Amino acid sequence: MWDRLLVDCNIATMDPSIGAPFGAIENGAIGIQDGRIVRVGRRVELAGYQARKVEPLGGAWVTPGLIDCHTHLVFGGNRAAEHEQRLEGATYEEIARAGGGIVSTVRATRAASLEQLVDESRPRLSALMRGGVTTIEIKSGYGLDIESEVKTLRAARVLAASEPVRIATTLLALHALPPEYRERREDYVRLAINSILPAVTAEDLADAVDAYCEGIGFTPEEVEQFFTAADELGLRVKLHAEQLSNLHGAALAARFHALSADHLEHVDEDGVRAMAAADMVAVLLPGAFHALKETKRPPIDLFRRHNVAMAVATDCNPGTSPVLSPSLMLNFACTLFGLTPEEALAGMTRNAAAALGLQDEVGTISAGKAADLAVWRISRPAELCYWIGLPGPERRIFAGQDSWS
């Protein structure tokens, strides 16, 4: 006797072994026991099974719960005032001179207590959960000192323990050079490697590490030093690479068997080949592309040609991607980058799971995986990518339980 049996539904399993677009099973059924999917198939195939609760869904579509595999969701303050100032004519230099930009987020994040950080970040998490997210990655990177990076990741762990959502945490110590290290960058890289990384791993606060490899971020050599140290501690790596220029970060990340390289507007074919050989995921971030009014799109055709899996994420952050809607990213991935609706949905389910190393746990509707599901009142899966500003699913099921936040 199962706990639940969902019936009278169509299922976009996103499982390629089903052999249909979206891994679709029409007139399907899903059996759930102890928070996991025990069986999925056509209704007639599950006819002999019984459950304590049999729930007809009135022809709705069920997808895997959405996975947002790249966010900077925990930070202090926000930059709405700067956004306003820019639209009123202020330049980036004027704003930076007045203490704005990323420095202002670093200041606010450092000044906030753990409780304040949790309280300020929770509404953003709730918005994404209402949009259908059941797994989310959260990076540090606005603390940029030992105490504040630890505090940021602790805040992410507090959110994970208090909300019905899976949270993967990532230490992004090499995000930006903190202002007090402006004239001595080697000292900051040393602090990240010798102090921040050990402090974070001592409390098991990070599931992976990340860095920002860019002219305005950190050099490939600095990233390599940081990755080498993380690798020795057994942590998987990810990399912000090739967003504004091509520093060959994707190939560098591939040498460390990275989970993913993210952004990738400027990656070349050698970089894509290296990613394919290392079985990395290309994480595409159309929200930042849109907010920065970028014009160079990531090379989608190269990813397709070399069979590099593509994920799509919100990049939720206060500066370049204040995005709180996962379905808007499904639409942007299609309209701005040219993904098909099936590629876009795979990007926020199956491939996003792989970008977090969680592909055995979530990302498709398959027997054995966690029962993280979203129930949508739509007529076909492509509708998720069609609407601009689609509200969240009708129901959100996390580990077998109906739950919002």
The full DSSP string for 74-89 is --SS--HHHHHHHHTT
Query: Which token pair is 175?
Result: 């995000």
H/E run at residue 148: helix 146-162
Amino acid at 179: P
- Residue with Cβ nearer Zn ion (30 or 167): 167
What does DSSP assign to residue 23? G
Nearest distance in Å: CB 212, Zn ion: 7
- Residue with Cβ nearer Zn ion (120 or 214): 214
Window of 53-61, 160-168, 307-315, 351-359 that interacts with Zn ion by CB under 5 A:
307-315
Window of 4-12, 86-94, 187-195, 308-316 that interacts with Zn ion by CB under 5 A:
308-316
Residue 67 near residue 356, CB atoms below 8 Å: yes
73 phi and psi angles, rounded to 5 deg: -70, -25
* Residue 187: burial class (beta carbons within 10 Å; 0-12, 13-18, 19+): exposed
- Residue with Cβ nearer Zn ion (12 or 323): 323
Nearest distance in Å: CB 77, Zn ion: 18
Window of 39-47, 118-126, 143-151, 310-318 that interacts with Zn ion by CB under 5 A:
310-318
- Residue with Cβ nearer Zn ion (315 or 343): 315
Nearest distance in Å: CB 372, Zn ion: 23
- Residue with Cβ nearer Zn ion (10 or 321): 321
Nearest distance in Å: CB 12, Zn ion: 27
- Residue with Cβ nearer Zn ion (30 or 171): 171
Nearest-CB residue for Zn ion:
315
Size of the site for Zn ion (CB under 5 A): 1
Residues 311-330 that bind Zn ion (CB under 5 A): 315
Cα–Cα distance list, 352 to 111, 283, 284 (Å): 33, 8, 10
For residue 314, give the nearest of 350, 364, 352, 359 by alpha carbon: 352
Residues 235-254 that bind Zn ion (CB under 5 A): none
- Residue with Cβ nearer Zn ion (30 or 209): 209
- Residue with Cβ nearer Zn ion (151 or 238): 238
What does DSSP assign to residue 18? G
Please report, to the nearest 10 degrees, the dihedral formed by the alpha carbons of residues 250, 255, 260, 262 taken in order: -20
Nearest distance in Å: CB 32, Zn ion: 34
Amino acid at 143: G
How far is Cα 16 from Cα 18, in angstroms, rounded to an integer? Answer: 5
Nearest distance in Å: CB 396, Zn ion: 25
The full DSSP string for 176-212 is S--GGGTT-HHHHHHHIIIIIHHHHHHTT--SEEEEB
Nearest distance in Å: CB 197, Zn ion: 19
Q: Which residues bind Zn ion (CB under 5 A)?
A: 315
